A = this chain, B = another copy of it.
Amino acid sequence: MIDHSAFGVDPWCLYEQHLDLSLMPHSESLFALSNGHVGWRGNLDEGEPHGLPGTYLNGVYEVRPLPYAEAAYGLPESGQSVINVTNGKLMRLLVEDEPFDVRYGKLHKHERCLDMRDGVLRRAVEWESPAGRRVKVRSTRMVSLTQRAIAAVLYEVEAVGEAARVVVQSELVANEELPAASDDPRAAGVLAEPLVGVSHGQMGSRVGLVHTVRKSGLRVAAVADHIVEGPENLLTQTESREDLGRFTAAVLLQPGEVLRVVKFVAYGWSAERSLPALRAQVEAALAAALQTSWEGLLADQRSCLDDYWSHADVEIDGDPDIQQAVRFGLFHIHQASARGEQRSIPAKGLTGNGYDGHAFWDTETFVLQVLTYTAPAAAADALRWRQRTLPLARDRAKQLRLQGAAFPWRTIAGEECSGYWPAGTAAFHINADIADAVIRYYLATGDHAFDREAGLELLVETARLWCSLGHFDGAGRFRIEGVTGPDEYSAIADNNVYTNLMAQRNLAAAADVAARHPELAAGLGVDPGETDHWRAAAKGMYIPYDEAIGVHPQADDFTKHAVWDFEATSADEYPLLLNFPYFDLYRKQVIKQADLVLALHLRGDAFDEEEKARNFSYYERLTVRDSSLSACSQSVMAAELGHLQLAYDYLGEAALMDLENLEHNTADGLHLASLAGSWIALVAGFGGMRHHDDRGVSFAPRLPPGWKRLAFRILVRGAVVRVETDPESAHYTLESGEDLEIRHYGTAITLSAGQTVSREIPEPPERPTPIQPRGRAPQPRGVHAMRDHTVHSAS
């Protein structure tokens, strides 16, 4: 765990006030910039020292074989790994004859700030070389949210005290040396030298490199241009080689004089376009950026973020850490999704190579919850990516001898890349999760075009999958057997309640969407017999229930299994998956991450309140949270059931997952789902927001101890609803849009534009606080957990 105080607490910025080399791998992820198309890790301008150099293009990957000790039918033979593409952020500095390297000389000042309103990473350094020459270095880095191919750096060097000969080398570097891969299965396979040079060149202040990725054959282009200002003695030159493009500016700076270099970098890639076409594309992007200018890009960036924050922001009075953390999360979610444009949103965005750069259900189940209500166009975009991969998902279903579409458990381009089928292919719930995101999106937006063009096909093909996966038993119950639910400490179980409930919704929604668009549905081969079958399967869906203890087993027989011996498990044996074999985890009652509890949230309409309370209490005793995909769901259900302190503690864990490196792997990239989880815990948890059906959005707000206020907005069917909660009452404002019916603790309220309706908040029910496994209770939050809130600023 990182002491969060290494990073200053400010409502809109993430500050680093001094450089701690041991935190560098971690801060590189926190300070990553991205627009969903290009991703730059927060590496130092000069490249070294580094934890993991990282420049990513969404969709650019290398193919690697997936080996098996024992082969079997249907195992994917090759995987996809995100690769570190051409590094365009490098700005090397030579002061007299000393390269600027924070490990040498004296660092008088080193501050960094991720500005979440300006959308830039700022750095301010004052450095004294080993020979005693002193310079100030200021840089501002951005990955443009408005021009998706563009990233840019403003790099300024000032001589301090005495004159200094200064050389800045602005580089494009391909095939950077990467640190060796770790043994942790969660870390990525690192691929050495994946890029093969195709062409390189320079012209004026411009340099460019084109490569192909060795095995996947994707073609990647990067070009950089520069605008330099400085004293008249300035000399510039450019050069290029296969893996290097370099622009050099050399100058003698008098004390107080500044060398100012603006670097514009344009990226492009394609699997199909010709070399001239790809080169023209990046040159055009660069021209547009130069035409916009650095200042123009900055202004556009701010304006884009202002627009985002105007409806996505969440305000908290009472916990500055969480205030900062939720904005940090929303900022990174925006970065990951803003310009994905029908590419995936990987589990770690474009902030690191963890999980090989794969997208999982994290996107649909967690990230899209946030985007659907704050940036619906980005949610639609992500779902249209899934639709684009339907042909692959249909092929996979065929290979698995199933109907419809079987979406991959993990992938970059749509092919199944999971090399361990019990926790990959068997996790068929990914298909219901995608369907759920489609249903949620349509419910929230009423976007008929999407419904027709994408929703229908996605729901139909996933419903078909469930029909071939499940079967009716003699008693007319529809059973889905031998699948793996969200909890990865269980596998290949029968009638996982989460899966069955999500499949039930999937099947019913497919019948509904087919009824809305009968002709289009017929074009997909849907006939009334098929939709009847979907409705019958949904209606007959078997949901196991353990009468003896009044609890829903996570899957058939789960509650009959031995309970994990938590008393005998020491703190350093977590995460359990690194210390116990799967077979032992699978056969016992021990839960890695919310599974049934996630069903209590997402299918809350399928349980009554007492069932929820009993289930939540039962599963709290078993859940160890060895996954980042758990705390937020536990927070939501704790809040619903009135365990407000517990909900608060889980919120803290979800929100600070990356800021405090709670899973020790933030260095590989941020956990986007957990970042989304802080919004979910706030809005669905303390805001009590649910949206199960077309009866409208409902709220049941209730603040955690010590908070004075929580406010957020959601976008629903074109309307902007603002919800503000204080300890006594909730205030609902329709900021724009047509009259809208919402519910407050079950009571309908009709909102009209500009009007605020306030309602009292009922007392929470009294229930015994649930107990967690020994040592696995979340860190308590509250007044005693507060820290210094001084705001620092980077110069």
Contacts and interface: CB of A to CB of B under 8 A. Distances in A.
B562 A69 contact: no
Nearest to A472: B562
Nearest to A477: B560
A185 interface: yes
Nearest to A579: B73
Contacts of A74: 580-582
A70 interface: yes
A230 interface: no
Interface in A158-204: 183, 185
A440 B70 CA distance: 33
A422 B422 contact: yes
A107 interface: no
A399 B583 CA distance: 12
A748 interface: no
A477 to B, nearest CB: 9
A588 B473 CA distance: 12
Given A481-B562, A481-B587, A584-B401, A183 B71 contact: yes
Q: How many copies does the complex hold?
A: 2
Interface string A548-559: 000000001100
A42 to B, nearest CB: 29
Contacts of A75: 69, 581
A169 B473 CA distance: 70
Contacts of A701: none
Interface stretch (A337-345, A413-421, A526-534): A413-421
Nearest to A68: B69
A23 interface: no
Nearest to A474: B548
Given A482-B586, A581-B401, A70 B419 contact: yes
Contacts of A482: 561, 583-584, 586-588
Contact of A556 (B183, B557, B578): B557
A401 B576 CA distance: 12
A560 B492 contact: no
Contact of A492 (B399, B421, B583): B583
Contacts of A183: 71
A599 to B, nearest CB: 20
A721 to B, nearest CB: 43
B68 A68 contact: yes
Residue among A71, A557, A583 with max Cβ neighbours from chain B (10 Å): A583
Given A557-B557, A560-B473, A562-B471, A73 B578 contact: yes
Interface string A480-499: 01110000000110100000
B72 A560 contact: no
A483 B584 CA distance: 10
A476 interface: no
A183 B68 CA distance: 12
Contacts of A426: 583
Contact of A561 (B481, B578, B588): B481
Given A583-B426, A587-B494, A577 B72 contact: yes
Contact of A70 (B418, B471, B491, B556): B418
A480 to B, nearest CB: 9
Contacts of A323: none
Residue among A69, A75, A420, A425 with max Cβ neighbours from chain B (10 Å): A69
B560 A494 contact: yes
A587 B420 CA distance: 17
Interface string A566-607: 000000000001111111101110000000000000000000
Contacts of A762: none
Contacts of A69: 66-68, 75-76, 79, 418-420
Residue among A185, A422, A481, A587 with max Cβ neighbours from chain B (10 Å): A587
A73 B491 CA distance: 16
Residue among A73, A183, A578, A588 with max Cβ neighbours from chain B (10 Å): A73
A565 to B, nearest CB: 10
B586 A425 contact: no
Residue among A425, A491, A494, A560 with max Cβ neighbours from chain B (10 Å): A560
A400 interface: yes
Interface in A701-736: none
Nearest to A184: B71
A578 B73 CA distance: 6
Contacts of A557: 494, 556-557
A219 interface: no
A625 interface: no
A572 to B, nearest CB: 14
Nearest to A562: B471
Contacts of A491: 492
Given A66-B69, A557-B557, A583 B425 contact: yes
A588 B469 CA distance: 10
Contacts of A402: 584
A479 interface: yes
Contacts of A419: 68-70
Contacts of A588: 481-482
Given A68-B419, A481-B562, A560-B494, A73 B581 contact: yes
Contact of A73 (B67, B73, B580): B580
Given A560-B473, A581-B400, A492 B586 contact: yes
A420 B70 contact: yes
A481 B562 CA distance: 8
Given A481-B561, A492-B586, A587-B482, A581 B67 contact: no
A185 B71 contact: yes
Interface string A130-145: 0000000000000000
Contacts of A479: 560-562
A67 B68 contact: yes
Given A422-B583, A425-B583, A479-B562, 6 more contacts: A70-B418, A71-B183, A72-B577, A425-B581, A481-B562, A492-B583
Q: 3 closest pairs, A vs B, by CB?
A: A69-B419, A482-B587, A67-B67
19 contacts: A66-B69, A68-B69, A68-B420, A69-B75, A70-B419, A70-B420, A71-B183, A72-B420, A73-B578, A73-B580, A74-B580, A401-B580, A401-B581, A401-B584, A421-B581, A479-B560, A481-B587, A482-B587, A494-B557
